[in-house]
Structure formats: C-alpha cells, structure tokens
Amino acid sequence: MDGDFKLTRRARIGWLTGMAVILTIALVVVFGLTSSSLVEGQASSLAKQYTDPELDGASSTEPEEQLSASYGRDSGKSTLVLYDNTGAAADANAMYAIATGNLLTHFGKTELKPVADYTDAMVENYDAAVYIGADHRVPLPQAFLDDVRSTDKPVMWLGRNIEALAGPDDAQNAQFRDKYGWDPRAATTVDSSKVTSVEYQGEKVHRETQGAPEIVVPFTGTNDKLEVLATSQCTEHGKPTSCTPNGSPQAPWAIRSANLTYLAEVPLDYIDANDVYLVYTDLFYDLVGSDAPAVKQAAVRLEDVGPESNPKDLRRVADYLASENVPFQVAVIPIQIGQNKDGSDWYGLSLTDRPEVVDALKYMQSKGGTLIQHGTTHQMGTMDNPYSGRSGEDYEFYQFGCTSTGTAPYTFEECTNDSYITPVGRVAQDDVDQWKDRLEAGRSVMEDAGLGAPTIFETPHYGGSVNSYVAMAQEYDARYEQGDYYASILTGQPSEAGKSYSQQFPFTVSDIYGGTVYPENLGNITEGEQNNHAARTPEFLVSRANANLTVRESTASFFFHPYLDIEYLKKTVTGIKKLGYEFRPVTELK
C-alpha cells in the first residue's frame, strides 16, 4: 500500500474494548477474582503456603518432647524442688513445681522431684530445697522429714503438711519447738477472703484472695526465737478484723528460724495481680544465699510491626525513645496473611514486599532498636484462632477459641468483646521439626530484607505448645515474653489445654524448655476493655512497676503498639523513670 494503515474511529474503540476484555480475563485467570476485590499478594505463593488446608486439621497427636526435670544454669546455686504428685491436685502441683523451678533458675540450677521419690540425705546434694505443700492428704517420706530436721541446708516449706515435720509424738514435737521456736500442731487457719494484703519489708503488698480457701496461721502472739518475714493483714468490708484466736488483725505469713523458712500458703495463683508472688520470689535470695545487688531495670518493646505497619508511626516512636535515651525492642512479624476485600480469598505479603517498612525498621535500628522475631505469620491456616485468621490478631503456635464463660464447661461462640479466650489444643502440625522450618522461614525473610538474623523470639499472644517452645529454644538465644507451662511435662501424660500455667517473670530465667527468657511483666496499654480484661492505662502500668519493686532485682518491662497515641508511651516511660528504673536493652536484663 502507498499510505499508512489507519484504523477507523469505530475500529479503534473496538480494539481498546477487546484489550480490556483480555486484561480482565487475564486477571481472572491469574487471581481468580475481579479488580473490585483484588489486593496485592492475593493467591501468592505465601498465601497458598500459610493457608494450606492441612494447617486447619485436627489437633496433632505427634509425640511431645520429653524434658529434663533438672535444668537452668550450671553455674550458681542448686535447688531441689519437691512436690506432691499423687491425688486430685497432682496436675496443679506439677505446674507449681515448674513455676518455682523456673524462678530458681535465676540463681543457678534446679531439679524438680516428687516428694515420694525422696531418698536419704538427698537434700545434701543441693544448696537449698523447697517443698510445695499444696495437698494435706499426701503422706511424706520419713527420710524427707528426718533430713529437714537434721540438715543445715536451708529449706523453704509452703503451706500444708507442716505438722508432719513436728513429729507424731510429744518428744519429737518438743525437739521441733526447741529448734524452731514454734509448734505446727498448734497452728490455726484464717479464711483467705480476709487476707487482702501482706506486709513485707515495711510495705503493704496486695494479695488476691481467690487462690486458696484458707491460709495457715503458724502461731499467735510474739516469739523471740524466730524472725517474722511477712505478716498477713486481715480486713473485712475495708476494716481490720481478727486473723487469729486472740483477735489480732495480723498474723505471720512468712517466718524463718534455724534452717527453715515457712510460708502460710502456696502463692502461685493469679500471679498477674497477686503480689505475694513477688514476696515469694524475693525470699529466694536469702534462701540460696544470693548476694546479687539491688537493681531497678526496665525494658520496652514495640509490638506487632509487620509489612502493613505505618512507617511514619515507626519513625515517630523511635525518635521519641531515642530522645529519652531509651533503648528498645521491636517485635517484627515477617509475613502478613489476611483475606481480600470480600473475604473470598487470602493474600500474603512479606517484609521484602514493603521496602518503605524495611527502611523504617532500619531507621529504628539506627536509633537504638533491637529487632526480635514475633512469630512467622502471627496466625495459623485459615481458622479463626480465635478471631479472623489475620496476622497480628490470632495465635500461631496453639489453638484457641472464644467462649461465653471463663471456666469449664465451656460454650464456644463467635468472638465478641465480651468473650473469654480459651485454649483448645495443639494445632494440626505440632512436630518440633515442622516448627523449626516455620521459624526459619520467618527469620529468612528478615535476613533477605537486610535486617539481620534475629536471635530473640516472641511467641504471638504468649501461647505455644510444648513442642513449639522446644523448637524456639533450639533456634534462638532467648525468648522475650511470658510463657505457658504444662502439667504434662512432669506427669508424663499428653498435654491438655486446661492444664497449663501462664507465668510472668520478675527477672531473667532459664526455663524448663531449655532457653533463656527475658521478662515482660507489666503488659501493654489498651484503650478499652477487651475479652474480660480491663483497660490498661499508663497509670496502671506504672502501678505494676511500683509493685515489682518488692523484688530486689526489680524489673519493669512492657510493650506498646506504635499505632496508639504516643502520649501513652510518654506517660509510661516517664512514670517508670520516676520510680528509679533505668531502661536498658533486653539482653542486659538481669
């Protein structure tokens, strides 16, 4: 042809229409959706991997790791923890033993053993011993009773069965009174509801009353042969009331004479608010002979930072903390999983898909931030665990649901703000090697993004299985969190969701899973009540920091979501500093 080929106007319109149709068909083929619901990362390899239907299967029956009952640091003091492993309270006693053992690893090494397995002179192999007397129906080995009376090793005795130590006859009882200065056979009890506080080292310490129906009053009156370490304060309707047969509103709660320290109860229930747990903790320093100097240490963690975080928020909190010379931690979610706009499909993004977030994280590092890995996806499969399946909202390492009541029998329901969050059981894939693969996938994302390999881990919502915690201990130097501990670790039975103990720590420990745990013990700021937890203001967190001063190595450690009003963070940091705490990197917490 002599001239250029040109389409007519009608032909051009038709050609453009055809191209639009082809593009739409391509989107449907590739993404299985229309542009109105399309989001970035939809049907990506990440989305497919982490929403695999196999992840939503029945609870795993894979064998659970068998853990040693002897654990902690080889250097330092060694402590034997004895507990009752028979009867209806066996599971609770196992959890009390683990909790006590975890605390004692701060000072060195601990060994947990059923008191029924005690043999002659066993206590002489340790620097100290603790007996958890939670069940009055349990007979105690004569070898144990004889050794406690004869040894010079310090022994702490909690709660029940102390009368057995005084001996079955008058002659032995007289020997006990002569050595220790009091008579357990003459002890009385007081209704737990009356003891709302305990006085310790001149300070009134709050006590939760629901933990036990009654507590022991070891003696009444005065006694120059022993040292009263802490005193029960009895009240009724806000006014002092009688604790003892002689009408006194006070009674000994913790006493010490010769080698024996006695506590009137096992102070290990409701520990998030039951501050006698802190008194219990502080008494260990004297029990094992620790000469650790008093410190006031603080730490802060910025929570749930992932691919969809706002970089401006991240830079703003980093600038503030740097201006206050406050080192900080950043809990990073490497992979974001969520549903598209109409809920018909799932999408997956990693940090490498969000260079602006990565740049903000690097900025935080330059301002004194330490990045820690906060799960891999912070959710599991497509299940509501318990909320939505979306990263940042759900649990990852254990299955949870919403119930209408906080105690059994449970009625499960769709989650509302008034629901209780209740553990259900292990997730479908709960093998240690499977968890290690999942952990490594998240760590690789952080490395690929140029952020370095994290050495510290935080379990999403502090909920995990035995096998997942073992995997974390094998893959990372430490965890920074509170933890769940199962009775099954000591009973040898399969773990059960309702038989676990959530523990927060007043200092750094080496827990039974085999890893270091840095403490987070204040919680976080919330703007309203959620799932039967009251709103937590800066003032509330500061009040908890003040309570933690009960322990001579005091720790005030909390976390904060960067999308909240930064004034909350400022008030909390300022209030904690006014109490004399010094902020430091979490790796420096004692």
For residues 200 and 223, what is the distance between their CA atoms, to the nearest angstrom? 18
* pLDDT for the residue numbered 37: 64
Residues 305 and 281 in one domain: no
Question: Could you tell me the CA-to-CA distances from 488 to 5, 40, 71, 239, 296 in Å, in that order?
Answer: 82, 44, 17, 43, 35
For residues 517 and 481, what is the distance between their CA atoms, to the nearest angstrom? 7
What angle is formed at CA 254 by the lines to CA 250 and CA 255, rounded to 5 degrees? 105
Contacts of 208 (CB under 8 A, 6+ apart): 269, 270, 273, 274
Residues 301 and 223 in one domain: no
* pLDDT for the residue numbered 27: 43
Evaluate whether residue 501 is within a structural domain: no
Half-sphere exposure of 375 (CA within 13 A, CB side): 29
How many residues are given for the chain?
590
Residues 416 and 274 in one domain: no
Residue 95 dihedral angles phi and psi, to the nearest 5°: -70, -40
Looking only at the bridges linking them, the beta strands covering 295-305 and 260-263 are: unpaired
Q: Give residue for tokens 């008494």.
A: 283
Q: Give residue for tokens 């430490």.
A: 478
The token duo for 259 is 């080698």
Residues 393 and 332 in one domain: yes
Q: Give residue for tokens 């038709």.
A: 14
End residue of a domain, out of 249, 264, 288: 288
Task: Please give the tally of structural domains in the chain.
Answer: 2
The counts of H helices and E strands in the chain are 14, 30
Residues 543 and 402 in one domain: yes
Evaluate whether residue 488 is within a structural domain: no
For residues 407 and 421, what is the distance between their CA atoms, to the nearest angstrom? 11
* pLDDT for the residue numbered 5: 38
Q: Answer whether 145's CB lies under 8 Å from 116's CB.
A: no
The token duo for 4 is 């250029």
End residue of a domain, out of 258, 288, 318: 288
**What CATH code is carried by the domain that includes residue 384?**
3.20.20.370
Residues 303 and 259 in one domain: no
Give 312's strand partners.
none
End residue of a domain, out of 271, 288, 305: 288
Domain range for 358 is 295-482+520-588
Among residues 541, 483, 489, 491, the alpha carbon closest in space to that of 509 is found at 483
Evaluate whether residue 502 is within a structural domain: no
Among residues 112, 115, 116, the alpha carbon closest in space to that of 97 is found at 112
* pLDDT for the residue numbered 168: 86
**What CATH code is carried by the domain that includes residue 180?**
3.40.50.880
Residues 324 and 275 in one domain: no
Q: Answer whether 163's CB lies under 8 Å from 136's CB.
A: no
Looking only at the bridges linking them, the beta strands covering 328-332 and 295-305 are: parallel
The token duo for 366 is 């330059």
Evaluate whether residue 62 is within a structural domain: no
Q: In this structure, what DSSP letter does residue 42 have?
A: B
Helix (H, G, I), strand (E, B) or coil at 8: coil
Helix (H, G, I), strand (E, B) or coil at 300: strand
* pLDDT for the residue numbered 450: 98
For residues 376 and 512, what is the distance between their CA atoms, to the nearest angstrom? 23
Residue 238 dihedral angles phi and psi, to the nearest 5°: 80, 5
DSSP secondary structure letters along 166-223: T-SSHHHHHHHHHHHSS-GGG-EEEEGGGEEEEEETTEEEE--STT-SEEEE---S--
Residues 358 and 284 in one domain: no
Residues 254 and 302 in one domain: no
Looking only at the bridges linking them, the beta strands covering 523-524 and 128-133 are: unpaired
Residues 284 and 321 in one domain: no
The token duo for 160 is 């029940």
Q: Would you give the distance in Å from CA 9 to the centre of its chain? A: 70
Residues 265 and 373 in one domain: no
Each residue's pLDDT, cut to its tens digit, for the chain (590 residues) gives 344 434 444 444 444 444 444 444 444 444 444 455 678 999 999 999 999 999 999 999 999 999 999 999 999 999 999 999 998 899 999 999 999 999 999 999 999 999 999 999 999 999 999 999 988 888 999 999 999 999 999 999 999 999 999 988 889 999 999 999 999 998 999 999 999 999 999 999 999 998 788 999 998 777 788 999 999 999 999 899 998 888 899 999 999 999 999 999 999 999 999 999 999 999 999 999 999 999 999 999 999 999 999 999 999 999 999 999 999 999 999 999 999 989 999 999 999 999 999 999 999 999 999 999 999 999 999 999 999 999 999 999 999 999 999 999 999 999 999 999 999 999 999 999 999 999 999 999 999 999 999 999 999 999 999 999 999 999 999 999 999 999 999 999 999 998 999 999 999 999 999 999 999 999 999 998 888 888 999 999 999 999 999 999 999 999 999 999 999 999 999 999 999 999 999 999 99
* pLDDT for the residue numbered 9: 45
Evaluate whether residue 64 is within a structural domain: no
Evaluate whether residue 499 is within a structural domain: no
Q: In this structure, what DSSP letter does residue 459 have?
A: -
Residue 78 host element (H or E): strand 77-83
Residue 338 host element (H or E): strand 335-339
For residues 323 and 180, what is the distance between their CA atoms, to the nearest angstrom? 56
Q: Answer whether 560's CB lies under 8 Å from 300's CB.
A: yes
Q: Answer whether 443's CB lies under 8 Å from 454's CB.
A: yes
Residue 374 dihedral angles phi and psi, to the nearest 5°: -110, 80
Distant-in-sequence contacts of 166-174, Cβ < 8 A, 24+ apart: none
For residues 481 and 84, what is the distance between their CA atoms, to the nearest angstrom? 29
Residues 198 and 342 in one domain: no
* pLDDT for the residue numbered 476: 98
Q: Answer whether 310's CB lies under 8 Å from 583's CB.
A: no
Identity at 364, one-letter amino acid code: M
* pLDDT for the residue numbered 76: 95
CB atoms within 10 A of CB 27: 14
